[in-house]
Structure formats: C-alpha cells, structure tokens
Amino acid sequence: MNSHAGLAPEGPYYTFVLIDGSTLKPHEETDMSRVKELTSEITGDGMLRHPVIVDKTFMVILDGHHRVSVLTKLGCMFIPAYLVDYHDESIQVRNWREGKEPEIEISKVTKESVVSAALTGQLFPPKTSRHIWPWRREECPIPIRMLEELGRTTSNMVHERKCEGKKTGNVEK
C-alpha cells in the first residue's frame, strides 16, 4: 500500500494535506504533561513522524490532538494531516478508557458524539476515544523547520498583500 497516497486495493482511504491549523476542531482536551513530553520529543527529533487524522467534512481532529497542540505551540500555521471520510464504515471508534479507570463514568463513544463534542466545544477528557483505522499507520516524517518556515512565509505573504492593497488603494474582498 502506498501510504502517502492513501491507496489500497479497495480504494482511497485518506488524502495527505498541509491544513491551516485554525480550521481544525478538537473533540478531546489535551494533557499538558503529555504536550510537554511530546514537545521535547518532536523538537529533539526535528520531525513530526505521523500526520494527524482529520474528518474531511467537519475538520474534526480524530487522532493527534497533542501533536496539533505541540505544532501550534511551535508556531506552525500548517498541520500535516490525513483527511478521511469519517462516515466510512471501515473507520471505527471505541472508548479508550474502558476498563482502565473504573472510578470514571464512561459513556459510549460514537462517531456522532465525537463530531458533536467538536462542534459544540464540549470536549471529552484526554484519551477518551480510540479510532481503529482500515490501514496501517506508517511514518511520514516531516521536518518541523519546514513547517515553521512555511508558516512564516505565508504570514509574510498575507501581510504584504494587505499592505500592498492599502498602498494602491485597492479594496480587497
């Protein structure tokens, strides 16, 4: 299987993109100790090893909340992501905490509850949902320096475009 194209004998499962991080919607909170640990790991490697996985319809982060938090903290505007069709029946969701923390009341996690949590902002605790993917997750290393530079370049281009419009008197729509 070609993991970068997302092709399998049955057809495409995902599309790789660099997505504007401000469009992503979390459905779970993050654990700040894990964010700190992952920040050290990613900056030490200089690479993001696995893109996040995002529902292409609602831009809900399905896997990678901590990675998005780290990349945002590092100033990366664009997040490497696999966009998936969350309605695809081969993608499954389970409750990650089931059987691990009996003192916490566990409600059934469904695709609908994941999307609802993201759209309403009523986030689940960290590591509530566990998604089962119909493909094998392979590494797709992306240099953090490239993501940081892409964000700076894009930010400068937007700023220059706005300034240019003011100088010439053009109205931007």
Distance of CA 71 to the CA centre of its chain: 10
Q: Which pair of structure tokens corresponds to residue 70?
A: 């780290």
pTM: predicted TM-score of the whole model, two decimal places = 0.78
Does the pLDDT at position 68 exceed 50?
Answer: yes
Helices 32-45 and 65-73 cross at an angle (nearest 10°) of: 70
Q: What is the pLDDT of residues 34-56, one digit of tens each?
A: 999 999 999 999 999 999 999 99
Q: Give 38-49 as a DSSP string.
A: HHHHHHHHTEE-
| d(C-alpha 139, C-alpha 122), whole Å | 31
Please, are residues 42 and 48 in contact by the beta-carbon 8 Å criterion? yes
The 8-class DSSP code of residue 135 comes to S
Please, are residues 52 and 137 in contact by the beta-carbon 8 Å criterion? no
- As a residue count, the chain comes to 173
SS3 state at 35: helix
| d(C-alpha 166, C-alpha 173), whole Å | 13
The domains of the chain, with CATH numbers, are: 7-143 (3.90.1530.10)
Does the pLDDT at position 151 exceed 80?
Answer: no
Q: Which pair of structure tokens corresponds to residue 53?
A: 């996985």
Q: For residue 139, name the pLDDT band (cuts at 50, 70, 90).
A: confident
Name the phi and psi angles at 67, rounded to 5. -65, -40
Q: What is the mean pLDDT of the chain?
A: 80
Q: For residue 152, name the pLDDT band (cuts at 50, 70, 90).
A: confident
